[in-house]
Structure 1
Amino acid sequence: MLFQVPKPGNTGCIEPVDPACFSGVVDLGAVDIDRGRDHGMPSYNALRQAYGLAPKANFAAVVGSGSETFPRDPKLTPGDEVNDPDSLDFTALFDINGNAIPLGSDAAQTSAVNARRRTGLAARLRATYGTVNRLDAFVGMMAEPHVPGSEFGELQLAIWKKQFLALRDGDRFFYGNQPVLTDIRNILGIDYRRTLAQVIAANTDIPIGDLNANVFVVGSGVAASGNGGSSMVMASAPSPGRAGAPIDNLDGRL
């Protein structure tokens, strides 16, 4: 996760990116790791246990797949694979449907969702940390596979869930803590429970039948029902590549 630091006052650099527009690059991941250590953030497994999750026994369990050993590859330096830049080479790319994308193609820049590197993430983590109990919490939570239907792994999801529940339960003005809303619904028939699709339909000329129940998802002619339910079926993308091959999602788990 690299962030380019723009030069002050330069607003003309948009696309394509011109290196002359920037004064340097900041490694946000390294900054977050250092910040966690400075603030006494627990290790990955200790933080999982603090949030009621079982600790992981090894790095393969952390990332959800793959081997903890480096492959035999003529492009890798035996015994020092983790410090070999070739260890991070992309060897295969896949789109959202699991179809292979040629390396170096235009589609590789715009449509790649999953990827395979020359070495697996579990092997790189093991070479860096040695034992899973030394794994930084920030690195571990970013390495976890996403929980289905979520953009987070188990640990991040537990953290965000607890924080938002605390915000909800501690806010006396939170709408869910207002019993009068239920009385209004029962007595006057006015229901505060509205989906975003229903709000859009009520405030625009777009009929409710022309909107997906989940307006953030592009569907194929699936309409939003009156009660906010959805009949949309999200098909799971097939597993790309050969069976058992470790896959890296292009979501920060690289």
Structure 2
Amino acid sequence: MAKYGLRIGSGTAYANVYNTSIDPSIRNAFATAAFRMGHSMIHSNFSSFSSSHKFLGKDRLSEIFGDTNLILNVNDRKVDHYCRGLVKDSVQTVDHKLTQEVTDRLFVDSNNNSLDLAALNIQRGRDHGLPSYTKWRRYCNVPTATSFSGLASTTHTTTAANLLKKVYNHVDDIDLFPGALSETPVAGGLLGPTFTCLLGKQFQALKKGDRFWFEGNNANVKFTPRQLREIRKASLSRVVCDNTDTFRIQQNAFIKGSPVSCESLPEINLNKWRTPCTWGSWSPWGKCLNDIQRRSRTSKNCDCTSRLKCSSESIESEESESKESKSKESKSKESKSKESGSKESGSEESGSKESGSEESGSKESKSKESKSKESGSKESGSKESGLKKCKPKESGSKESGSEESGSKESGSEESGSKESRSNESGPKGSEWRKCKSKESGSKESGSKESKSKESGSKESE
């Protein structure tokens, strides 16, 4: 790991390893031979364990190839049970041996015909035109071997060298897969020097040749330091905990150890990827159509979800504007109340009918109740204005909310009431408020004049 620079950083540190001269594509030898070393680690049986780590039995590999019936219909053979078996069982040693489950009984058909995985790997290397094993030794700076005895004195045991000698006429005829797989593991590793080299160089290329490597400090594509810290908390043990009914597991899924509580394992906090919202200015109120005015604003940098606080500044400003609006409304109501009082006294002096006066008074009280309700609706709307719904920048989302209601608009008179509406299925593109159009205003005044004349006619009679 250290030799090829593959260790992952810690905390919030970046790793500026990107090199434009390195090709990160997969090498032929890696895909065709080296990364197939895991075939030597396969068990003959798969174990199952309960969530309390009780052994539930095991199944022979050749008998469960492609058999989904186990997972679907057998209670003790779900994915969860097999996952726990994989983290509890030890792997086989990487050497020249493969289990007979994949060499003699791989995909057995109805006529009892089967495949041999080791033979497939060797033939695949030849189909891909891979050089012989000794050429790859030189590529990886492994001591040269010109004879089978040379293998035994450098990288192989005597037993492994003799087995190769039985199959190949010359040391230069050895295929990469059996030659490298049968090497003695390096100190502290699973593989011999040749496969260790091929895997190390490939993963090094994938890291250093990747412009989007997650630890990079490229301003255009990098993670924030806080996000880096969260990513580095990830572990296979936590993945097993989060996706199965496992409650206790060893801290490192690849190394045997005493199980610990899943809750004690570090968990990635996805809130570190949430972007605060910033909002543009409100557009002017539109014309009063059908007693309704509308306006809208756009979210510039928004990655919020339904009913999340987006911008504390916009919330505070909207609340203060809402208070100003309510105070103006209150003053407007007081002045209207005085005017209506003077009109009522005037109509009593002129001898107008009490029923007409009562009717007028009832209309006024209804109007006041209506305005009071609207004011209450507006007040609750301003309190909820901190709960936003928005979309990312690409979709050009707009936000519903509440802002200054005291602004003057052309071609309309303010009614003093406003409601903020949000769409349950998605963000609302605008907000609206009630208003009185000129036509309705002129009709009302005409109606008043008519009533006044009628009252005068009655008085003269």
TM-score by length of 2: 0.28
TM-score by length of 1: 0.47
Structure number, greater radius of gyration:
2
Compare the two structures and name the one with the higher helix fraction: 2
